[in-house]
Amino acid sequence: MALWKFSTPLGLALLIAVAPAGASTATPGTVLDLVVAEYISIPDNPAEAGFFKTTGTRTGSVPACATLPRWVFPLNTPAGQGILAALLTAKATGKKIEVEGTGDCKLGTASETVGLIRLND
């Protein structure tokens, strides 16, 4: 279930899901290295995904599958498109974001899947 809350254009808060206890989080930081790409996670099944890093400090339990220091989200879902919009807004305005992971690497990319993005005022 996706819950969207837009208080102001610059005070955007985007809640995608509640992160499980085994997930990692990132303290507020700016968006780095935003990449949108097509990749193959399962042979003959290409998917589109977004990857990014932040300047925030990663805390909590990073899943063992997340061997790369970045986050990943799908682009073929409404929630994923909302995440991309929040990231682009943060990048364009210089606002900091907070990230919570799902505790897994569902997209098979050695990166923790995003569960929540919060754009700070």
pTM, entire model: 0.76
Name beta bridge partners: 31: 54
Task: Provide the residue ranges of all domains of the chain, joining segments of one domain with +.
Answer: 3-119
Q: pLDDT (tens digit, 9 = 90+) per residue, 6-25?
A: 344 443 434 334 445 568 99
Could you tell me which residues come within 8 angstroms of residue 105 by beta carbon, excluding any fewer than 6 positions away?
Answer: 63, 65, 66, 72, 111, 112, 113
Computed over every residue of the chain, the mean pLDDT equals 80
Contact yes or no for 38/47 (Cβ under 8 A): yes
Q: What is the CATH number of domain 3-119?
A: 2.40.50
Q: pLDDT (tens digit, 9 = 90+) per residue, 50-61?
A: 999 999 999 999
Contact yes or no for 18/116 (Cβ under 8 A): yes
The length of the chain in residues reads: 121
